[in-house]
């Protein structure tokens, strides 16, 4: 009932084809380390979902278990929850999960709840072809800088219109975003409005807009509304072959 070392028994039991589910419970009750048992169980083809719960209850690190579980083709969604509950860093789990082709949308939520930096997760998600629209929202909610996310999003061919709004709401400088947006061939009409709302200088935007062949008629109105000097804009307009009668 607890006085014997059951490490050898597990090996004998496994050799004999016995189910070792009960042994794990006994071992945990007796305060034994069940790291070895997990390996034996995995080797015997047993489901180790219950073992993870037992291990977590005993305060054991489940980093190794995740690897064993992944090797056995088990879904590690439950493990991520258990790990988060135990205060473990789930950076390694995300990598394992991505390798196994699991959707990491839930993991981002768990990670955010645990206060982890989700910069690495965005990269993993992008590599796996997942839509990162939800991630941007989660990241913004956590107060993270989304400058890197815009670059990742652009690389993945996603529309970054929503990101600009999120960035503006978070008080980030959107100068870099305009450049990324222009590079991706997006219409920057909406961006000018967002920029003006945020009190940013739109001098650079006019140049970008002209380079992209956009009509800058609306931009002049926005610029004038913001009290900007439109001397430079007239020059840009003339360079682009626009009629400057309206601008005057």
How does pLDDT run across 92-109, given as a tens digit for each residue?
Answer: 455 445 445 455 555 555
Q: What is the 3-state secondary structure (H, E, C) of 122-150?
A: HHHHHHCCCCCHHHHHHHHHCCCCCHHHH
Per-residue confidence in pLDDT tens, the chain, 248 aa: 344 454 545 544 544 445 545 455 455 445 455 555 555 555 555 555 555 555 555 555 555 555 555 555 555 555 555 555 555 555 545 544 544 545 555 555 555 555 555 555 555 555 555 555 545 544 544 445 455 555 555 555 555 555 555 555 555 555 545 544 544 444 455 455 455 545 555 555 554 555 444 555 545 555 555 555 455 555 555 555 554 444 44
The values of phi and psi at residue 200, to 5°, are -80, 155
Residue pair 230/221 in contact (Cβ under 8 Å)? The answer is no
| Nearest Cα residue to 209 out of 191, 237, 188 | 188
Residue pair 134/160 in contact (Cβ under 8 Å)? The answer is no
Q: Which two tokens stand for residue 46?
A: 């047993």
How does pLDDT run across 131-183, given as a tens digit for each residue?
Answer: 555 455 445 444 454 555 555 555 555 555 555 555 555 555 555 455 445 44
Residue pair 138/109 in contact (Cβ under 8 Å)? The answer is yes
- Rounded to whole angstroms, the Cα distance separating 243 from 13 reads 89
Angle at which helix 63-71 crosses helix 77-85, to 10 degrees, equals 180
| Nearest Cα residue to 73 out of 52, 39, 108, 102 | 102
Q: Which two tokens stand for residue 191?
A: 């961006």
Question: pTM of the full predicted structure?
Answer: 0.23
Q: Which two tokens stand for residue 235?
A: 């020059």
């Amino acid at each position: 009932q607890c006085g014997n070392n059951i490490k050898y028994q597990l090996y004998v039991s496994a050799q004999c084809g016995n189910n070792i589910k009960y042994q794990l419970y006994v071992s945990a009750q007796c305060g034994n380390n069940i790291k070895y048992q997990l390996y034996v169980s995995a080797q015997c083809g047993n489901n180790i979902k219950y073992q993870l719960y037992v291990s977590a209850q005993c305060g054991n690190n489940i980093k190794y278990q995740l690897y064993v579980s992944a090797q056995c083709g088990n879904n590690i969604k439950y493990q991520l929850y258990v790990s988060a509950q135990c205060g473990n860093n789930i950076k390694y789990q995300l990598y394992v999960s991505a390798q196994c082709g699991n959707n990491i949308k839930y993991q981002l939520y768990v990670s955010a709840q645990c206060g982890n930096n989700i910069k690495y997760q965005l990269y993993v998600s992008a590599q796996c072809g997942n839509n990162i629209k939800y991630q941007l929202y989660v990241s913004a909610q956590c107060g993270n800088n989304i400058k890197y996310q815009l670059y990742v999003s652009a690389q993945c061919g996603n529309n970054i219109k929503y990101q600009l709004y999120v960035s503006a709401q978070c008080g980030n400088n959107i100068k870099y975003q305009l450049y990324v947006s222009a590079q991706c061939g997006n219409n920057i009409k909406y961006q000018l409005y967002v920029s003006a709302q945020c009190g940013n200088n739109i001098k650079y935007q006019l140049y970008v807009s002209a380079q992209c062949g956009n009509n800058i008629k609306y931009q002049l109105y926005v610029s004038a509304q913001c009290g900007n000097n439109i001397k430079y804009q007239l020059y840009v307009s003339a360079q682009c072959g626009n009629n400057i009668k309206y601008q005057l």
